Chains A and B, each alone.
Chain A
Amino acid sequence: MAFPDRIERTVEVAHPPEKVWAALTTAEGLSAWFGNEATIDLRPGGGALMRWNEEGFTAQMRVERVEEPTVFGFTWGIYGLPADDPRRTYVEFTLEPAGAGTRLTVVETGFAQLPEDIHRKAYDGNSEGWAKELGELAAYLDAG
């Protein structure tokens, strides 16, 4: 199974969990190291936005777990897929005290989700999706 479904990294930083937590869960913290601009509504179900100016890329996140200062989880889209694709990966940060510092683990899972239309039996219908939608657009414009 060469397809990577899960990415996991652990780093130890010489700062207490509270400080790492702030860097992970506040707009000020996220925009300082992760993206260039960030907004976050820190509650399960809350939305967050991250923007990378150089790449001209914006990620829309949905906050899933908030257990200060030990677990922060969110989902976001898979880079390269259309913005409305329902597949998303789940990212979870876990913070553990390690001496005077913090052991920070990030796990991202879900890269290997199967799209619903992947099976052969569904092949034919789906290939017509765009043609159908363009047809509907044409009908809508004609009706107008």
Chain B
Amino acid sequence: MLDDIEAIAEQVFAALADPTRRAILAALASGGPATATDLAVDLPITRQAIAKHLALLTEAGLVTAEPGERRRVRYQLRSAPMRVAQQFLAALARDWDSALGALTDHLDRGA
């Protein structure tokens, strides 16, 4: 089980390590499903480059491809892997060291 989520988290962080893929994911998150052509209008890279990144993101399970009108493929964000990555970040951000330090200070002050 841990191997599964480790693999999923790794794919999310690898995807997010690239600024173009971050931009693509951000565009899908804010604007909803879009085609590679749609994305090329808003992002400063070619449609071909976007298509390449979308193929990688699809392979990683971060977006899904669905056939749209006139056989144009639309890409949609998949949130499940992002949530797995969030769990990883939440574990890193849980600051028990500061909390226990504050507890110790509180007890000492009240003594």
A interface residues (Cβ-Cβ under 8 A, vs B)? 1-5, 7, 9, 11, 13-15, 19-20, 23-24, 29, 32-34, 78-81, 85, 87, 104, 106, 108, 111-115, 117-118, 120, 123-124, 126-127, 131
Contact = CB atoms under 8 A, between A and B. Distances in A.
Given A14-B107, A112-B2, A112-B5, 4 more contacts: A14-B111, A15-B107, A19-B107, A108-B96
A80 B90 contact: yes
Interface of B: 1-6, 8-9, 61, 64, 76, 78, 80, 83-84, 86-94, 96-97, 99-100, 102-108, 110-111
B96, B103, B106: residue with the most chain A Cβ atoms closer than 10 Å = B103
B5 A81 contact: no
Nearest to B81: A118
8 contacts: A1-B2, A9-B96, A78-B90, A87-B87, A104-B100, A123-B64, A123-B78, A127-B76
Nearest to A123: B61
A78 B87 CA distance: 7
Contacts of A5: 2, 91
Contact of A106 (B8, B87, B96): B96
B5 A80 contact: no
Contact of B9 (A3, A23, A81, A127): A3
Contacts of A13: 103-104, 107
